Amino acid sequence: MELRVTNTPILQWSGDGLAIGLFEDAVELTGDLAALDEKLFGTLAELIAEAEFKGKEGNTASSRVGSGSPIRKIILVGLGKQESLKLDGIRRAAGALAKAAKKERCKTLGVSLPLWNGEPATTAQAIAEGIELALYQDNRFKSEPEDKGPQIEQVSLLGFGGQDAAIARARQVCSGVILARELVAAPANIVTPITLAETAETIAREFGLGLEVLEREDCEKLGMGAFLGVAQASDLPPKFIHLTYKPDGIPRRKLAIIGKGLTFDSGGLNIKGAGSGIEMMKTDMGGAGAALGAAKAIAQLKPDVEVHFITAATENMISGHAMHPGDILTASNGKTIEINNTDAEGRLTLADALVFAEKLGVDAIVDLATLTGACVIALGDDIAGLWSTDDAIANQLLQAAELAGEKLWRMPMEEKYFEGMKSLVADMKNTGPRSGGSITAALFLKQFVKETAWAHLDIAGPVWADKENGYNNAGATGYGVRTLVHWVLNS
Ligand code: BES
Ligand code: MN
Ligand code: ZN
């Protein structure tokens, strides 16, 4: 699909479909729209009346225009109230109109959406992202593609002439989001620690990033007993993946992004039971997917920031080699951990990744992890939890997430709850009581960061969507990539 920008006025545009965004309580036709309605023999007014179109956010209405018209289909999309328009509202409207246009079998489409916050570049980028992400279809594992109908071939953003660079940025960001979606959606017999490392290698080769993959022996030498304890029951080799983006010239900042990379989480000997969602545990590398997706996007966007992308990739399996509940592991910072539950494995892999990242001497570390079911209980399926010891980073991430259209909510780092993690025999246990489970998980991670500004995102909820929503189709969302990109570029 070709995405282009043009200053062709809406009245002069011709093609298969024309999609127009309308605000709630402002659907009356004035100015250009009145002229357009006249030109289209009253189709606009008729459609608004017949569909009882009120401009509610996300609503669409479509109609055929009489023959002889320069436009075959007219599509209306609701934007909600003008005063509450957010950047992601534009992105979602673009996604909704793209899906409607596809259903209406438009091959060429003109899009007329309003400017957000007086920022043409930001707006054009969001529109392009919404369209591109909404039209993405994953047919990799179908013997025949599901969407056999005509595809949209060309989309023109009307009124955004000159914003070609914004479209290029949108495509780069989306390539990262789509990589994350594809990694998360692929099952554990396709995406393994080995293939994750291969994906990192492909990104490194294609975009000129540095890559270091530590094998089991390398991790042993570094004393990564926590990560290796999780990996020891798998028949697949663990891979500790470290991708580095370095800008030309002196970097403004050095950052590390860590993603939990459990390509499958069976729970280990504390095996996940029926009804635990074990069949969804291919998504337990959603943090790694976001990190690699962000790497792909950032490598193309080329900010003046050095970024390290790290994932300690493995499976959490059972076998005669499996760690026993009660085992004591020593992490690479020397701290000892009593494993009272082998299913709290993500934090063990992250512990060694955090120690590794801090040794790089970065200014800040962010980790993303499908870490706890407790976070899903607290915040539901759509919102990720944010924990941080550093208010500046926390606020940067909240702002980045807002622009990215990825819901994020700051949670408390309640130190007192760490008492629940006390062990009689080791420095700490790996799980505390059931209550506050996502908070104790964050407090556990904190033990492995000494002084670097750090934030933790628990993305167990939004990594996957059961239903389609705006530009997210049902399935893997690619959550985190856009937030990370905004964070790296703007803070
Ligand atoms: N990968 C899971 C967390 C998870 C649960 C992600 C549901 C997505 C959906 C994690 O490794 C896990 O098993 N966590 C346990 C921790 C518990 C043993 C303290 C959990 O949340 O039940
Ligand atoms: Mn687990
Ligand atoms: Zn897990």
Distance from Cα 372 to the centre of ligand 2, integer Å? 8
Catalytic residue among 171, 272, 407, 410: 272
Domain with residues 171-490, CATH architecture:
3-Layer(aba) Sandwich (3.40)
208 backbone φψ class: left, alpha, beta (φ>0; ψ -120 to 50) = left
Residues with CB under 5 A from ligand 3 (ion): 262, 265, 284, 346
Q: What is the reported pLDDT for 149?
A: 86
Closest CA to 296 of 364, 201, 217: 201
Residue 91 has pLDDT above 90, yes or no: yes
Residue 281 has pLDDT above 90, yes or no: yes
The model's pLDDT over 325-372, given as tens digits with 9 standing for 90+, comes to 999 999 999 999 999 999 999 999 999 999 999 999 999 999 999 999
Q: What is the reported pLDDT for 68?
A: 86
Residue 25 has pLDDT above 90, yes or no: no
Partners of 110 in the β-ladder: 18, 156
Taking the domains of the chain in order of start, what are their residue ranges? 2-162, 171-490
Q: What is the reported pLDDT for 66?
A: 82
Q: Is 268 in the pocket of ligand 1 (CB under 6 A)?
A: no
Residue 432 has pLDDT above 90, yes or no: yes
Q: How far apart are CA 364 and CA 362, in angstroms?
A: 6
The model's pLDDT over 11-21, given as tens digits with 9 standing for 90+, comes to 999 999 999 99
Q: What is the chain's mean pLDDT, rounded?
A: 97
Residue 205 has pLDDT above 90, yes or no: yes
Distance from Cα 204 to the centre of ligand 2, integer Å? 30
Q: Is 277 in the pocket of ligand 1 (CB under 6 A)?
A: yes
The model's pLDDT over 171-181, given as tens digits with 9 standing for 90+, comes to 999 999 999 99
The model's pLDDT over 397-412, given as tens digits with 9 standing for 90+, comes to 999 999 999 999 999 9
The model's pLDDT over 377-387, given as tens digits with 9 standing for 90+, comes to 999 999 999 99
Distance from Cα 210 to the centre of ligand 3, integer Å? 28
Q: Do domains 2-162 and 171-490 have the same CATH topology?
A: no
Percent of the chain with pLDDT over 90: 97
> Regarding the domain delimited by 2-162, which CATH topology (the fold level of the hierarchy) does it fall under?
Leucine Aminopeptidase, subunit E; domain 1 (3.40.220)
Binned at pLDDT 50, 70 and 90, residue 146 comes out as confident
Binned at pLDDT 50, 70 and 90, residue 487 comes out as very high
Q: Is 432 in the pocket of ligand 1 (CB under 6 A)?
A: no
Distances from the Cα of 53 to the Cα of 35, 130, 401, 452, angstroms: 19, 22, 31, 52
